[in-house]
Amino acid sequence: MSKPTYPDLKGCGIGAETCRWLADNGVKVAVSGRNEEALDQVVAELRGSGAEAAAISAECTDAQSLERARSDAEKRLGPIDILVAFAGGGTARPAPVEMTSESDWRSGIDHNLTATFLTLKTFLPGMKVRRSGSILTMASTAGRSSSPASPAYAAAKAGVIMLTRHVAQEVGSFNIRANCLSPSAILTERTALHMPEGKRSQIAALHPISRLGIPADVAAAALFLASESASWITGATIDVAGGRLMH
């Protein structure tokens, strides 16, 4: 089998790529995160290709910061119709439960599950008033099946799936949809740093479609779920996983 080739991943995380796909399809995009320099770079690129975009910094584990971000984004771009809650991270690293410190456990839950909860809580009231919205959340194959990931990350991502279903049930009658993306190994600028060629092929071989995912794979699924084409899909979790998981 021929070796897969991957695109240039400079400036390419899943969130940034999703911003590009949304902007290319006419969406005004508030690009959010904590690193203002990185936000400005993505915004400059989007504006350069003719899109309307604004950099809105936010710390998603902090309700007040999210509220400031919501207010700022709405002042600059108007009401938020599509909420992409993809922030994830934390200090937890793969290790057995008994070797996982309480602070790493709390960090994994906080930066993945609580960050998603707070983001949804901040943006849902406006969507309910407007009776319209599409919400996307971010899980991981690690939250769907046993894996070598950290227990905190795995539990948090499983929690994101259930939180998304809960919200979908709660707000469907307000014409708001909530769906979750669950990627397997995605090669980004960051993950590429820790993945030499040999490791890439080992991980690729775990997938029936024997390559790693790229941010565009996730962005394409996100664009579909956010769009009116998915108007009767809610509470779903889409495995963007090269067939590694088949439910």
Ligand X SMILES: NC(=O)c1ccc[n+]([C@@H]2O[C@H](COP(=O)([O-])OP(=O)(O)OC[C@H]3O[C@@H](n4cnc5c(N)ncnc54)[C@H](OP(=O)(O)O)[C@@H]3O)[C@@H](O)[C@H]2O)c1
Q: Tell me which residues touch ligand X (CB under 6 A).
A: 13-15, 33-35, 38, 58-61, 86-89, 111, 115, 138, 140, 183, 185-186, 188, 190-191
Length of the chain: 247
User: Nearest to ligand X by Cβ — which residue?
Assistant: 88
In this structure, the number of other CB atoms found within 10 A of the CB of residue 208 comes to 9
Whether 6 is a known active-site residue: answer no
Q: What is the nearest approach in angstroms of ligand X to the Cβ of residue 142?
A: 7
Rank residues 133 and 143 by Cβ distance to ligand X and give the closer one: 143
How many angstroms separate the CA atoms of 195 and 44, rounded? Answer: 29
Rank residues 27 and 92 by Cβ distance to ligand X and give the closer one: 92
DSSP 3-state of 135: strand
**Alpha-carbon distances, residue 83 vs 21, 76, 160, 168, 202 (angstroms):** 14, 16, 15, 13, 35
Q: What is the nearest approach in angstroms of ligand X to the Cβ of residue 62?
A: 8
Catalytic residue among 51, 55, 153, 238: 153
Q: Which of 152, 231, 221 is closest to 184 using CA atoms?
A: 221
Rank residues 121 and 131 by Cβ distance to ligand X and give the closer one: 121
Q: At what angle do helices 63-77 and 115-130 cross, to 10 degrees?
A: 40
Q: What is the nearest approach in angstroms of ligand X to the Cβ of residue 175?
A: 26
**Alpha-carbon distances, residue 44 vs 29, 62, 79 (angstroms):** 12, 26, 22
Q: What is the nearest approach in angstroms of ligand X to the Cβ of residue 46?
A: 15
Q: Are 214 and 166 in contact (CB under 8 A)?
A: no
Rank residues 23 and 185 by Cβ distance to ligand X and give the closer one: 185
Rank residues 149 and 168 by Cβ distance to ligand X and give the closer one: 149
Local structure of residue 87 (DSSP, 8 states): -
How many angstroms separate the CA atoms of 30 and 55, rounded? Answer: 6
Q: What is the nearest approach in angstroms of ligand X to the Cβ of residue 85?
A: 9
How many angstroms separate the CA atoms of 16 and 38, rounded? Answer: 9
Q: Which of 220, 214, 229 is closest to 21 using CA atoms?
A: 220
Q: Which element (helix H / strand E) includes 30?
A: strand 29-33
Active site members: 153
